[in-house]
C-alpha cells in the first residue's frame, strides 16, 4: 500500500468526516444510482448531492457507472483512500443507513426503461412528483367548496392552513405557543385583515366559550402530555352545531425520530381519539387512518371530524 503525507491523510480524514458523504458511499456501495435518485433517498438538494459526489470522484472513491449513475469504485487507484473507507465502513452502524438502503431499493424497483411516467408509478402515484401536482393545489381546489364562519386554528404554526382558509372564512384566528412562529405567521398573512395571530397555550386558550364555528386541531396532540385538556378546550370554543377537524399521528414506536420535532408522546389509535372526543363532548362523525407516509418509518395519520351538540 502506498504511503501518504500528513497533508494527504488530513485531507482524506476531512473528506470522510462528513456524514452525508458516508451516507452516499454506503448506499452507492450496494446500488448504482443517479443524482435524482440520491436526492429522493437522502432528502437533500441535487446541488448538494452533486457537490459531494464531485469530492468523492476526486478521491477516486466514486465513479461513473453509466446511464448517469454513480457507484463506489470496486478498487480505487489510490489504495490508501479505499483502505480508510473500508475500515470506516466496517464500523458504521446507524438507523439512517438502513433507511437509505430501503429507499435505494425502492428507487431501483421503480425504474422502468420501457414505460412512460404514468405506467412506472401506477399504484403509488401519490408518492411521486409531477409538475403542478401537489397537495397544496389539491387542497386549494377542494377548499373552494367550503363556506366557513369564524375559524380557529389551534397550534397553527406560521399560518400555512390559515393561508388556505383565508378566502373562504369570515374570520381566522391562529394561536400558537411559540412567539417566533406567531411573528412569522403575522408577516405571512399581514395582507388579510380578518386573520389574526395570538400567542397562547392550547391547554388554556384565552377565548370565550362558543366563539367559533369551526376548530382545526392539526397535528397538535403529539405536542401535549394532556391531550384530554386540549380536546376539552377545543370543544369549549365551538358554537352549538360547530365542527372540529383533527389530524394526529397514529400510534408508533419511533421515539428517536419524533423527538427531533419535540413530540412528547407516540401518537394515538382510533379508540383513544374516540374516547378523548367523547369525554370532551364531541359527537364524532368520522375517525380513521387517513394517510400513510411513503417513506420509512411510514408514519400514519388519523383524521377525525366531530360536532358539538346543538
The closest of 116, 74, 100 to 296, measured between CA atoms, is: 100
Which residue matches cell numbers 408514519? 299
The pLDDT value given to residue 27: 87
Domain ranges of the chain: 6-124, 135-308
**Chosen CATH of 6-124 out of 1.10.2020.10, 3.30.70.1140, 1.25.40.10, 1.10.10.10:** 1.10.10.10
Secondary structure element (H or E) that encloses residue 246, with its range: strand 238-249
Alpha helix locations (H) across 132-286? 135-143, 160-165, 179-188, 227-237, 255-259, 270-280
Going by pLDDT thresholds of 50, 70 and 90, the confidence category of residue 269 is very high
Q: Does 292 score more than 70 pLDDT?
A: yes
In tens, the pLDDT along 180-201 reads 999 999 999 999 999 999 999 9
Q: Give ∠ CA 158-292-307 in degrees, rounded to 5.
A: 65
Question: 135-308: CATH homologous superfamily?
Answer: Vaccinia Virus protein VP39 (3.40.50.150)
In tens, the pLDDT along 215-250 reads 999 999 999 999 999 999 999 999 999 999 999 999
Q: Give the pLDDT mean for 115-128.
A: 52
Report d(CA 274, CA 291) in Å as an integer. Answer: 18
pTM tops 0.85:
no
Amino acid at each position: 500500500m502506498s504511503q501518504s503525507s500528513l497533508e494527504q491523510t488530513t485531507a482524506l480524514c476531512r473528506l470522510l468526516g462528513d456524514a452525508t458523504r458516508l451516507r452516499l458511499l454506503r448506499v452507492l456501495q450496494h446500488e448504482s444510482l443517479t443524482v435524482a435518485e440520491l436526492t429522493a433517498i437522502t432528502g437533500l438538494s441535487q446541488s448538494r448531492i452533486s457537490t459531494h459526489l464531485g469530492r468523492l470522484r476526486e478521491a477516486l472513491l466514486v465513479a461513473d457507472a453509466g446511464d448517469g449513475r454513480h457507484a463506489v469504485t470496486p478498487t480505487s487507484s489510490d489504495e490508501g483512500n479505499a483502505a480508510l473507507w473500508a475500515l470506516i465502513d466496517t464500523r458504521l452502524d446507524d438507523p439512517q443507513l438502513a433507511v437509505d438502503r430501503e429507499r435505494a431499493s425502492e428507487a431501483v424497483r421503480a425504474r422502468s426503461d420501457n414505460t412512460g411516467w404514468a405506467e412506472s408509478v401506477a399504484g403509488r402515484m401519490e408518492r411521486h412528483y409531477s409538475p403542478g401536482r401537489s397537495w397544496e393545489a389539491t387542497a386549494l381546489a377542494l377548499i373552494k367548496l367550503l363556506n366557513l364562519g369564524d375559524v380557529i386554528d389551534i397550534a397553527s404554526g406560521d399560518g400555512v392552513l390559515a393561508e388556505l382558509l383565508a378566502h373562504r372564512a369570515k374570520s381566522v384566528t391562529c394561536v400558537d405557543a411559540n412567539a417566533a412562529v406567531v411573528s412569522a405567521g403575522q408577516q405571512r398573512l399581514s395582507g388579510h385583515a380578518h386573520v389574526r395571530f395570538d400567542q397562547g397555550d392550547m391547554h388554556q386558550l384565552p377565548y370565550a366559550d362558543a366563539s367559533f364555528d369551526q376548530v382545526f386541531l392539526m397535528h397538535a396532540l403529539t405536542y401535549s402530555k394532556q391531550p384530554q385538556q386540549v380536546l376539552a378546550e377545543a370543544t369549549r370554543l365551538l358554537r352549538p352545531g360547530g365542527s372540529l377537524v383533527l389530524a394526529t399521528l397514529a400510534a408508533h414506536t419511533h421515539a428517536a425520530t419524533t423527538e427531533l420535532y419535540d413530540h412528547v408522546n407516540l401518537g394515538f389509535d382510533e379508540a383513544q381519539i374516540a374516547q378523548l372526543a367523547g369525554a370532551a363532548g364531541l359527537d364524532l362523525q368520522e375517525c380513521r387512518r387517513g394517510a400513510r407516509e411513503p417513506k420509512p418509518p411510514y408514519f400514519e395519520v388519523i383524521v377525525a371530524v366531530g360536532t358539538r351538540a346543538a
